[in-house]
Structure formats: structure tokens, C-alpha cells
Structure 1
Amino acid sequence: MAGRGGARICGTPIETIRASTFNPAKRIRVTPTSGFSTSSHNLSRLAIGSIRRPTAEKRDGAVLGELRRFHSAPRLRKEHHFDTLKFVQRLKEEGLTEEQSVGLMRVLSDVIDESVQNLARTMVLRDDFDKTVYTQKVDFAKLRSELHGIQNSEFNSTRAEYERLTSELNRLNARLRDEIARAQNSFRLDLNLEKGRIREEASVHELKIKETDTRIESEVGLLKGVLESVKFSTLQWLIGVCTGTAALILGIWRLLM
């Protein structure tokens, strides 16, 4: 991993980290990954052989500049999450220069600060969490009581509506039974009246039929008498004709003889 330009930290070349660390106008932000290790031994193995060692004059000037920045600034010092001095000394023991050690320390500090800020944005305090849980419990209890009240009111209204519908249905059933009984009585009365009317008409028709039969019988008797008289008259006429014809034939026969 300590090749001539191929050494990397968290996927970023060390030359890029060095240039961005010591050039304030062009600084990059390195985000932590799960594979990043803060071990000084690993950092030294990554850095040795890939960063050129500066001259003694440049090294002394850089150290003096860093000391001025660390000790002569009147503003408050930044709070670190690890022992930066011990980390720098450990890197120097591994063979890195003061400038390189301070640069790597700053990069690691920025990474840790950004990680802590990200965690702080996604996490809450214990008091806030307890307060939120208590508020949710209170809201849930209130919601449960409201739901219970709504359920009871809905049940009571539903029960009252059911009783009202039951009474209305019973009333409608009684009314329907009365209407059916009234209709049946009316139908039976109409049927009896119709039966009586039919009987009367049948008796009238029977009387008319009997009268017709009597008239037919009387007419038949008269026709029989007329036929008998016509028959007797016809027989008398035939006998007279036959007798005259026979007498005429006998007379003619006698004349001819």
C-alpha cells in the first residue's frame, strides 16, 4: 500500500489530503467510513513512502507557524474528541514529520467532528426522549378515553336506533296484519256476494230453461197433432185417387174388351 503515488486514506490519496490540509483556500472534507481506523500504526504504514520529507528549514518554519497558531491565538481553542498531542507524537514516532502529523490530526479531527455533528442531528437527549414518550403516553391515554367515550356514545346511539327500528318494524307488522285481515274479509264478502249473485242468475236461467222446455214440448205436441191430421188427410186423398184410378182403368178395360 505504500507505493509511489498509490497510498490512500479512506479512498482519498494522501497527496490530496496534504495539499488540502496545508492550503486554507482549498480544503476538502473527509467523511468517516466503516473501514477507517484511527490506529497510528496503520496511518504510518499508509503515509510512509508516499509523502516526501520536507527540508529542515521548512520543517522548522512549519513547526513555528503551528506553535503560533496553537499558543498565540487569543480565541478559544477548539474542543477535540481525542488527545491530539499524543496522536501527533505517535505519528512522529512512526516516522512522519511535524507538518504531516498535524495535517493528519486535523483531517481526523474534522472527520470526527462531522461524525459527531451528524450523530447529534439524528439523535435526541434523554430528557427530550422521556418528555416525548410521556407526551405520547398522555396523548395515547387521552385518545383511548376519547375512543372509549365515542364507542360508548356510538353504542348507545346504535342501541337506541335499533330499539326504534324494532318498534317501528313491529308496528309495521301489526299494520300489515290488519291490512291483510281486512283484505281477506273484503275478498270473502265479495266472493260470497258473487256466489249469491251467481246462484240467483243460475236459478233464473234454470227457470227460463224449464219454460223453454215446456214451450218446446207444447210445440212438439201441436206439431205431432198437425202431422197426424195431415197424414190422415193425405191417406184419404191417396185412397180416393187410387180408387178413382182403378175405376177409370176398369172402365177403359171394359170398353176395350
Structure 2
Amino acid sequence: MTYAFDTLKFTQRLEQVGVGREQAEAHAELARDMILADVATKADLAALEASLKAEIRAEISGVKSEFRTEIAGVKSDLKTEISGARSEFRTEAGGMKTEIGTLKADVGSLKTELGTMKKEFEGSLRELELRMTVKLGAMMVAAVAAVAALQKFL
């Protein structure tokens, strides 16, 4: 787009307020050069847009690369942590298996000991029963003898 600056009108206006023609023309040319020097053209804007897009793309690419690197680091850390946790779990599980084996052996020993104690108790109970039977028999014999003796005397 082309911008126009009407130097003739500018010059005429300066002349109306008392400025000389040569001086008015010099002012008009200077004003035109200064104003148009700061006006951006479509080509300027297109170049700026292309430059900004390139910068944004480069920045996005850099951020993507940083994210990928960060994600890879996090994945690596997680894999290490998971591997450590698995190893610790296996160690603990092995220890538990050993402890369970020990407990099973202890329970087996207790069962055997309890069986032995039961047999000893049953043997002692039979022996006590036998002694009580013998004593009861002896008491009955004594009682029968006493009744028989009492019948003789009576």
C-alpha cells in the first residue's frame, strides 16, 4: 500500500499563515520524509510476520525438545524406582517365605510334642485308673470282710 502526503496542501497552508514559499516547501518535504519513514508497508508487515512465525516455531521446537528430554529423564527415574521396589519386594518375599517355613517347622514340632504329651497323659490316666480299680477292689474286699466279721459277731 502506498501512502500519500499532500505536500502542496501543506505548503499552501504554511503560506496562508505567513511562511515564505521556499521555507514552506522545505517544511513540507521534511514532514513527508519523516512521516513516511516511520510508516510500515505491507511488505514490512509480511516480513515481520514471517520472522515472528519462525521465532515462535523455533521456540516451540525448543520447548518440545526440553519436554522430551524431561519426560525421558522422568521415565528413567521411574524405571529405576520400580526396579528397586521390585528388588526390595523380592527380598522381602524371600524373607517371608523363610519365616513361613520356620513357622511351619515350629508348628510341626509343637504338634509332635503335643501328641507325645497326649500319649503320656493317656498312659498316666490308664495307670491311675488301674490303681484306683485296685484300691477300690481292696476296699470292697475289706468291706465284705468287715460285713462278714460283723455277721459272725452278731
CA shift, 1:158, in A, is 1.9
Does the residue aligned with 1:217 lie in a helix, a strand or coil? helix
CA shift, 1:149, in A, is 4.9
Q: Which of 63, 66, 81 is equivalent to 1:168? A: 66
CA shift, 1:129, in A, is 8.7
Aligned-residue Cα RMSD (Å) equals: 3.0
| 1:254 counterpart residue number | 152
Matched, 1:128 2:37: no
Unaligned runs of 5+ in 1: 1-124
- Distance (whole Å) between structure 1 residues aligned to residue 98 and residue 149 of structure 2: 75
User: Structure 1 residues 129, 177: closer, same or farther in 2, change over 3 A?
Assistant: farther
Matched, 1:140 2:39: yes
- 1:195-206 alignment, distance < 5 Å: 195-206=93-104
Q: Percent identity?
A: 15
Unaligned runs of 5+ in 2: 1-6, 13-27
Which protein has the bigger helix share? 2
Identify which of structures 1 and 2 has the higher relative contact order when contacts are C-alpha pairs closer than 8 Å and 6+ apart.
1
Q: Which of 96, 105, 128 is equivalent to 1:207? A: 105
| 1:234 counterpart residue number | 132
**How many correspondences in the alignment?**
132
User: Structure 1 residues 186, 151: closer, same or farther in 2, change over 3 A?
Assistant: same
Q: Which of 52, 56, 61 is equivalent to 1:158? A: 56
Q: Which of 217, 221, 224 is equivalent to 2:119? A: 221
- Distance (whole Å) between structure 2 residues aligned to residue 150 and residue 242 of structure 1: 131
- Distance (whole Å) between structure 2 residues aligned to residue 234 and residue 186 of structure 1: 70
- 1:25-174 alignment, distance < 5 Å: 127-128=9-10, 139-141=38-40, 145=44, 147-174=45-72
TM-score (normalizing by structure 2): 0.71
TM-score (normalizing by structure 1): 0.45
CA shift, 1:227, in A, is 1.0
CA shift, 1:190, in A, is 1.2
